Amino acid sequence: MLNNTLLKSTLCASITLSLFAVQNSFAEEVSVGSYYGNYDVTQKSPGQQALSLRGPIMETWTLPAVPEKKLRIGISIPHVQDSYWHAVNYGLTSEAERLNVEFVVKEAGGYSYLDTQQQQLNELVELGVDGIILGSISYSGNNELVKQIDTQGIPIIEVINDIEAQSISAKSIVSFYDMGYLAGEYVANDAEKAGKNKVNVVFLPGPKNSGWADDSFTGFQSATDFFPGEMSVVAVEWGDTSAKAQGDLLASALKAHPDVDYVIGNAVAAELAPEIIAQSGQDSKVIGTYITPALYKGINNGTIAAAPADMTVDQARIAMGMMVRLLKDEKPGTDFPFRAGPLIPVLSKSNITDYSYEKLFGPKDYSVRMDNM
């Protein structure tokens, strides 16, 4: 089977310890991989932690107590157009409510709107928030603005999407390189079990230069390097995560390549894939690079083979907790991790029942909240 010895980041620990992840959707503790020390951007590569940080350290993140001081937190995220960011919204706002923290959410409308996100970040500063939790649209495009806001005494903590910015205060993220690696490992193992010597793959990472999409594709490529046969990525289709964009990209790729064994992609593409594959007359297996409610349902009913779960709700709750601890004068990298993220399980038919819907995504009847001020 696939040789796993080369993986050197949080992935190894994630695979080994993922069964110990907390399953109670309202748990006070979360199993995480943490990094301590000083963040030095000159020692960082996209998709990887900065080499200046010490870790990963496997530990338990304990949700903080309600702060004595009333806090106002701004939240800036790419959009609330899909269930993935609904889950982020739930994790952030529910934890803010538990902590008696005031919040206001700004959403840019999509990954094409970096200018809008930057305008909204400035609006949050004008509102007088104590800190900002940022899901950055761009890996490097917000670097200068993060620095400007930090010099005004307003800390920024990154959530979900990695960011380069030297001035970022802390990060609650998992590595999308690891997520892509796990997806690639699943494909390689599945193909080897099926006795395939030659495999054709279509990959739909998501928006180019978003950071997470690029990292997931790089991680996938690293894992499939160990497939003993020939694995060809016959098409890589970059694009916004709107349903129309992803559907058009996949349909075009399958038309151009009539013998595709696996379709791997962002959750929007993976959700659309079974129907588009059927229309193309092919019999490709579908693997997501992250989990959403639609893929969770698809794994249960057999239309989706697998998807790594980045435990989105927990990432969001950790980010809010980091902000509260920072504003209580605790120091990131010393008193709590500069970077922490939940352990990553790969969900498939064999283990899907071990992970409740609510733990992964929040209540099924949840409606997005934009403020409580």
**Domains along the sequence of the chain with CATH:** 29-174+311-361 (3.40.50.2300), 176-308 (3.40.50.2300)
Q: Please give the angle made by the CA atoms of 237, 239 and 241, to the nearest 5 degrees.
A: 120
Residue 192 C-beta-side C-alpha neighbours within 13 Å: 15
pLDDT for res 27: 57
Rg (CA), the chain: 20
Give pLDDT < 70 ranges for the chain: 1-27
CA atoms within 13 A on the CB side of 102: 10
CA distances in angstroms from 12 to 4, 17, 80, 189, listed in the order given? 8, 9, 32, 16
- Per-residue pLDDT tens digits for 176-231: 999 999 999 999 999 999 999 999 999 999 999 888 899 999 999 999 888 999 99
pTM (predicted TM-score): 0.85
So what's the pLDDT on residue 215?
92
pLDDT of 13 reads 40
Tokens of 32: 């995480």
Output the six-digit token pair for 254: 């399958």
Name the residue type at position 334.
T
